[in-house]
Structure 1
């Protein structure tokens, strides 16, 4: 039991520093890293400092790759902002429909999964949240909707996580993709309800309930169809493009 408590201590420390002490993610990560190393070197786990060399190198390389991708994602956001692309996209959506529910669903279940499927690593948040703010939603609502919109996770970065999971588990990729799609179908419907509820409230959601349910179903069904008949890698891209096409 003591070993178990020590093993989860780094995770608890991360949550405590971020949510209670309100420390930055960089500070939290550094502290958690040193804490993990100290626990591993303690008499309870009997590790030597040489045992830590490989995991530290691997985690550093992984962090470098993610930082590299995020850097250019943030750079892309600032480039779009300076070029007026964010206001332009928001204006195009406004011209297409002034319905707040449609605007939310287009971005949260259409554009965001599209970006996440191609890029991954949560970069869709950097684009979606400013677009929602430009459309008149509060920063808090925009942030929540943008975070929830990262719903295409099994097919993010062209289904890299699903491919790796199927390979490590020695599971057929097509079966893994179709199984994930079936499990995600009710989740997409729930996310559609949730983002609309956050954006416009329960009364407006109740009036357009069938439309919201239909959009969530369309995303899930189109993802399954692509997994079944086309490609697991393209399923997220196909599903998001289907939702956007249905709207426009």
Structure 2
């Protein structure tokens, strides 16, 4: 009976989103009401009013970190959109990697994991979705492709979730990073093939399946190797950089051959002139529609600034320590620890302010742009706060612990359940870091009692939790907000649900094979 009660809020969320297809705000509110109602109606999960209020406040506190990232990213997007910058950036990507299928692989397996590894908090999704829109993909395609780009979440935010899980269980972070890479090894390849199918259908898969496999293998080998040297914190950054380098070189190898082929030299020159004329025509058309003309470098500059200052803040150790210890909003009672100068949101805000200066002509539009960003931000923010508050109520009342302890009674057979429990934690919290904080001690206790290897249990915990966050209400809301599509959360859950369930099944199968 306890298990049924403990899963009640989860079933409410699933029914509201998948069956009834209600907006995320309504689904989030219903889930929160179900969680609160369970604590009021059933003594086994009873919370006193003060405890319930504290759990709700903790959920809101957790939301602040996401809000701090989400709103500045939307502001940056609307600043660039106001000068048709996203379209210009899309054309720039098209020139760098002319073939559309390879553009998809570059963004899904390369750029999105890179952005997520540097920043975390779903920034990879937020940054990559506007690029897909600029390249001409539909809102539905862009949202799915943006979610698929979350494949490197275990190494997101310089592997903050992986490091936390290792600290809780006294594991070497490099060991945890490497076991996670091994248990999730096939998934980058799978996601690459799915991305091709989403963007171009069966023909795209038939044309570019070798490149999807190669890029996925490069990412897997990269994060596995770099988890050992130089360390798990930079594994995602360096691994995704390898992928981007590989795809850019591969995409242009035929072009290099053509440039040196005498018979086609004249045609190449004509193509360049045609492209230049097309670019000038586009700029002229933009001017006719009242859009300020900007150069490609003015659009690229904000992303370059963002990447540079994020890397500096993470890699320069004395600066990192100073940023994490100054201007910190810290309230221990509600688990709030928000370093204002270290959080990626601060650097997104700085980048947005720098963009105003770089573009120059958008200052008079700043008020309108800010209102547009706020209007897109609010619906998702409300839903996100409700889901995270519900998660905290479930944790405080013991619902999640009850589910975990029930699974732990399985003994050696627990290996069949461990990834699914981890996935549940990731789906509920929407954060690999939060899920590891929630379940790592449980995984360690099961390891002690059953004799199952802790490094493999934690690898499954880290990997399955991270991949399940891809379709969590929190991440789906972020993607829906980025694409500007109300109700996209339902669509994403329906479209991506089987993919993520399959990913967890793969992790489970590899875990069973890894443990004799």
The answer for the alignment partner of 1:36 in structure 2 is 35
* Equivalent residue runs for 1:122-201 within 5 Å: 122-201=122-201
Secondary structure (helix, strand or coil) at the match of 2:174 reads: helix
Residues in 2 aligned to 1:68 and 1:212: alpha-carbon distance in whole angstroms? 34
Q: Which residue of 2 aligns with 1:204?
A: 204
> What is the count of residue pairs matched by the alignment?
247
Q: Which moved more, 1:17-26 or 1:160-169?
A: 17-26
TM-score, normalised on structure 1?
0.91
Deviation by residue 1:171-192 (Cα, 9 ceiling, x = unmatched): 2211001111222221111111
Select between 200-209 and 141-150 the one with higher mean Cα deviation.
200-209
> In 1, are the aligned partners of 2:73 and 2:127 still within 8 Å (CA)?
no
TM superposition shift of 1:112: 0.7
CA distance in 1 between counterparts of 2:107 and 2:42 reads 52
Higher mean C-alpha deviation, range 76-85 or range 9-18: 76-85
Equivalent-residue separation in structure 2 for 1:30 and 1:229 (angstroms): 45
Q: Deviations over 1:51-96 (max 9, x none)?
A: 3233223222112222222222222222232344422321111112
Counterparts in 2 of 1:112-123, with a 5 A limit? 112-123=112-123
Q: Equivalences for 1:200-239 in 2 at 5 Å?
A: 200-239=200-239
TM superposition score normalised by structure 2: 0.46
Q: Distance in 2 between matches of 1:85 and 1:170?
A: 47
In 2, Cα distance between the equivalents of 1:138 and 1:42? Answer: 45
Asked if the contact 1:166/1:172 (under 8 Å) is kept, the reply is yes
- Which of the pair has the greater relative contact order for Cα pairs under 8 Å at 6+ separation? 2
How much is the aligned-residue C-alpha RMSD, in angstroms?
A: 1.9
CA deviation profile, 1:97-119 (whole Å, cap 9, x unmatched): 32111110111111111111122
- Structure with bigger gyration radius: 2
On the 8 A contact 1:41/1:49 being kept in 2, the answer is no
* Structure-2 change in CA distance of 1:43 and 1:6 (3 Å): closer
Partner of 2:255: none
CA contact under 8 A between 2:94 and 2:100: conserved in structure 1?
Answer: no
2:9 is aligned to 10
1:131-175 per-residue CA deviation (whole Å, 9 max, x = no partner) reads 222222232222211111111110111111111111222222110
Cα–Cα, structure 1 residues 83 and 221, in superposed 2: closer, same or farther, change >3 Å? farther
Per the TM alignment, residue 233 of structure 1 is displaced from its structure 2 partner at its CA by: 0.9
Q: Tell me whether 32-41 or 16-25 shows the greater mean CA deviation.
A: 16-25
